[in-house]
Chains A and B, each alone.
Chain A
Amino acid sequence: MSGVVQSLDALPLLGIVFQLLGYLVENLSYMSHTTVAVAIPITLAALCGVMCERSGVVNIGLEGIMLTAAFVGWMTAVAAVGLMGQGAPLPFFGATLPLLIGLAAAVAIGMLVSLLHAWLAIHARIDQIISGTIINIGAAGITGYLYSLVAGQSFQGAGSFSQIDVPQQIVDLPAIGWLLNAIFRQGPIGLTAIIVVIFLQVMLFRSRWGLRTRAAGEHPRAAETVGIDVIRLRYMNVVMSGALAALGGAWLSMENTNRFDANMTAGRGFIGLAAMIVGRWTPLGAFGAALLFSSVTAFSASLQIDPPSGDLGSLMGHVPGEFWEALPYLITIIVLAGLIGRSVAPAADGVPYERESAT
């Protein structure tokens, strides 16, 4: 008797699973594209983290670098519009001269903030987590102050970069059309991020720079012995990687939206850091982890835009929206706690390097 009852209970469950699958297929196009888009800033932050930590510098100031770049990029673009007007749109990505100036300013400030972190971490040998935290506090405080100075004023916006349109023939390709559309329907920063993932993966494991970086992160003393300038290499990596995190910030204020909000990074830098750990300090792995987190975001966004019907809909109706918003963070924690011992940081990660001195 109880067996019959159980089997009856199982039927609606099976129905819901099928409804869920149907819902996923139905919204595949939207969800896949949103997944890649949401993963862009997380990936860029994670790539910055990979470059820093592979050379032995912990960088939890990613969030602050992104926020500073988001603000400075947007502000510079708006100021440029005020000075020279919108200008003629350039033939690619809906770019205008002010937008490009803003992007350059964002990258420059990102590298500058990274230089500060590099100096604090490598030269002053401040605890790197404290130095990163101070960068985060400073970025939130200073951008918050400067933004409050301009927030009340009315000015002409600078617009944002636009996505490329994937040709319809490609979108209609069977089986892979949706995937290509999801990956390539991006703006300039999004496409750059995807290219940099592959580029860095190859460079890190196939180039002289990559070998040296990994050596500096694993055993700086040995690296120095064979003639690698560990200090210089770490400076280079931290400053260069700042440009990546800065692109992530610029994506927020100049590609995904056309405005700045106080604290608009909303933890993406930290999620990028987690993606780096989950992805075992490799660019491709970090990208994969970022996609895992963003797919949850995409799913919850899809639930709000197109609520499912039937049993699935009534079931989802009982789940508060806040749960879906918290889920990426929860998954991050669970994956982190589950991965420990199998995902190992570079051995000299976070350890300041000091040359043997004559005295």
Chain B
Amino acid sequence: MSDQPGTDPAPGLQAAPGAGDSSGAGDEPDVEGATSGGGRSLMGQASTGRPSASRVIQLLAEPIMAIVFALIVGGIGIVAFSGLLPDHSAFDLGLPIAAYGALIGGVASLNGLTSTLVYATPLVLAGLGVAIGFRAGLFNIGGRGQFLMGAVGAMAVATAIGKDAGPWITIPAALLAGAMLGAFAGFIPGFLKATSGAHEVVTTIMLNYVFVFVTYWAISGPLALPRAPQPITADVTSLNAGLPIILGRDGNLGILIALLAIPIMWFLLFKTTIGFEIRAAGMSPDAARYSGMKTRQLIVVTMSLAGFLCGLAGATTLLGVVHRMAPGYDTTIGFDAITVALLGRSNPIGVCLAALLLGAMRAGAQVMQIQAGVPAELVDALQAIILLFLIVNIFRRLMSNIRRPGRRKGMQDALNDAVLDRGGAQ
């Protein structure tokens, strides 16, 4: 139960000293004891993917508690700062009720529901992208850059062939190009980690900024509309590349793509060899390597797949929702996707539920801002508070586990050990 750094090289934001040799990025301590004792973790590393009914309730209880607590704290925040809002008295106790009421009311209509699905679409795709990384023990913070590259790839193909080819060719080609460019954006940190051991957390964040500037350059340069007064791309609907509306007022085809991605990713993770290897590498890189899996290749494949999904999110958002790229085109999907993956415990079905929740909050936030005057940014704050309560709640569970004799490893150790490629287990 103790950490012994002398025997277990535990890298910080970088690979262990032995990263240069053949052990590579998988030079991590064994965590088998952690996963067998802990049962499951926040990332869902050890969950089976097909829980029983009581298990489902158990799985849902913690996120729901976290959400409830976050809403209470958010309400206190609204009251505390209500004096800063125009037309509101200080410490307006009714304001949280009005705000949350407007938020829920904004979702509870046909347009509100389709709006929720539209907001949830990129969250599902990018959330799956982060989740598959977690499953393999990789922390993909590069969702932002991969999403932007997805948009750039889709826009580039739409600009190049959209005028001549019909929508039946342009749309699939643009989606695929976006996903592939996103996959390339994910491949780079994966390749760097596999070959040099550079930690993906730092490289993906640095690459985010690189890709932001690549996007700015693309908008003002090769993708810019000729003779436009300001650098802006063409509208994809004029290029036969706009995703068709399949639901309500603005429910585009991207919803269907996200819906299909969930069972596909579930199947891939839990029913295929590569999925098994990804999960095995995430639970115990050493065991995976000793059993003959090529952990370095797995890192590259997983990061590329994560980038593919985030890129697809970027492509569907551009082709289905935003339609054109203006200067300063950017996204908050990187952090949102991490929230979704953590809240959904890296399980495709959980990711779907978490994305729907966040999508509903985003859809309702606009209504809340208009009707109650509370800024839509409240949702960003709520998101962080939900996460905070989620992990602290897990901590409480750990305390009850520790007091139970005969249980060597608690939940928290499972989390600490299994999530990332390091651990304190002996």
Question: Which positions in A face B, CB cutoff 8 Å?
Answer: 53, 58, 60, 120, 124-127, 129-131, 133-134, 136-142, 144-150, 152-153, 218-222, 267, 270-271, 273-274, 277, 320, 322-323, 325-326, 329-330, 332-333, 336-338, 340-341, 343-354, 356, 359
Task: Tell me if B93 counts as interface (CB < 8 A to partner A).
Answer: no
Q: What total of chain B residues lie within 8 Å of the partner, measured CB to CB?
A: 77
Q: Is the CB of A138 within 8 A of B203?
A: no
- List B contacts of A146 (CB < 8 A): 81
Rounded to whole angstroms, the CA-CA distance of A142 and B4 in the bound complex is: 38
Contact flag A323-B375 (CB < 8 Å), given A126-B416, A133-B338: no
> Complex Cα distance A277/B221, Å?
35
A150 CA / B81 CA spacing, docked (Å): 10
Do A220 and B192 touch across chains, with their CB atoms under 8 A apart? no
Tell me if B213 and A326 are in contact (CB < 8 A): yes
For the complex, is B46 an interface residue (Cβ under 8 Å from A)? no
Distance to closest chain A CB from B69 (angstroms): 14
A153 to B416, CA, bound (A): 44
- Please, which residues of chain A bring their CB within 8 A of the CB of B405? 359
* Closest A-B pairs by Cβ, 9 of them: A349-B12, A141-B380, A138-B384, A345-B12, A326-B213, A148-B375, A322-B217, A348-B5, A341-B20
CB neighbours (8 Å) of A149 from chain B are 81, 84-85, 375
- B415 at the binding interface (Cβ < 8 Å): yes
In the bound assembly, the distance between CA atoms of A137 and B380 in angstroms comes to 8
CB-defined contacts of B391 to chain A, threshold 8 Å: 120, 124, 126, 130-131, 134
**Given the interface contacts A333-B192, A336-B202, does A347 sit within 8 Å of B6 by beta carbon?**
yes
Residue numbers in A under 8 Å from B141 (CB-CB) = 133
A325–B10 Cα distance when bound, in Å, is: 34
B3 engages A333 (CB within 8 Å) = no
Do B2 and A145 touch across chains, with their CB atoms under 8 A apart? no
Contact B202 A277 (CB under 8 A): yes
Among B5, B342, B424, the one with the most A-chain Cβ atoms within 10 Å of its Cβ is B5
Contact status B196-A340, CB under 8 Å:
yes
B206 CB–A CB distance under 8 Å: yes
Complex Cα distance, B205 from A136, in Å, reads: 12
Which residues of chain B come closer than 8 Å to A221, judged between CB atoms? 2-6
Asked whether A125 and B412 contact (CB < 8 A) given A277-B14, A333-B203, A336-B198, the answer is: yes
Q: Does B13 contact A (CB under 8 A)?
A: yes
Question: A218 CA to B12 CA in the complex, in Å?
Answer: 11
**What are the interface flags for B327-346 relative to A under an 8 Å C-beta threshold, 1 for contact and 0 otherwise?**
00000000100110010000
What are some 12 contacts across the A-B interface (CB < 8 A)? Answer: A126-B394, A137-B335, A138-B388, A144-B380, A144-B381, A148-B375, A267-B208, A274-B206, A333-B206, A336-B203, A345-B12, A353-B3
The reply on B420 being an interface residue by CB < 8 A is: yes
Q: How far is the CB of A214 from chain B (nearest CB, A)?
A: 12
- Interface contacts beyond A130-B391, A348-B3: sample of 16 additional A-B pairs, CB < 8 Å, sorted by A: A53-B12, A125-B395, A125-B412, A133-B141, A134-B384, A138-B381, A138-B388, A141-B380, A144-B380, A145-B380, A336-B14, A336-B199, A338-B196, A340-B14, A340-B198, A341-B19
Most B CB within 10 A of own CB, among A53, A153, A329: A329
Contacts of B85 in A (CB 8 A): 149
Cβ of B380: which chain A residues have Cβ within 8 Å of it? 137, 140-142, 144-145
Interface pair A267/B209, CB less than 8 Å apart: yes
Q: Does B214 contact A (CB under 8 A)?
A: yes
With A144-B377, A270-B205, A345-B11 given, is the CB distance from A356 to B385 under 8 Å? Answer: no
Residue B38 lies at the interface, judged by CB distance under 8 Å to chain A: no
Residue of B nearest to A153 (CB): B84
Known: A53-B12, A146-B81, A336-B203. A220 touches B5 (CB 8 A): yes
Check A125/B192 contact, CB under 8 A, given A221-B2, A326-B213, A330-B210.
no
Contacts of B209 in A (CB 8 A): 267, 326, 329
In the bound complex, how far is the Cα of B419 from the Cα of A277, in angstroms?
Answer: 22
Q: Is the CB of A277 within 8 A of B13?
A: yes
Please name all residues of chain B whose beta carbon is closer than 8 Å to the beta carbon of A273 when the two chains form the complex. Answer: 13, 202
CA distance A149 to B10 in the complex (A): 43
B382, B383, B416: the one contacting A352 at CB < 8 Å is: B416
CA distance A134 to B398 in the complex (A): 20
Which residues of the other chain, A, contact B51 by a CB distance below 8 angstroms? Answer: none
Which of B205, B216, B412 gathers most chain A CB within 10 Å?
Answer: B205
Which residues of chain B are within 8 angstroms of A320 by Cβ–Cβ distance? 217, 220-221
The residue on B at minimum CB distance from A266 is: B209
B37 interfacial by beta-carbon distance below 8 Å: no
Contact B3–A352 (Cβ < 8 Å): yes
Would you call B216 and A322 a contact (CB within 8 A)?
A: yes
B419 near A127 with CB under 8 A, answer yes
Q: How far is the CA of A257 from the CA of B349 in the complex (A)?
A: 46
Residues of B within 8 A of A138 (CB): 381, 384-385, 387-388
B335 in contact with A136 (CB, 8 Å): yes
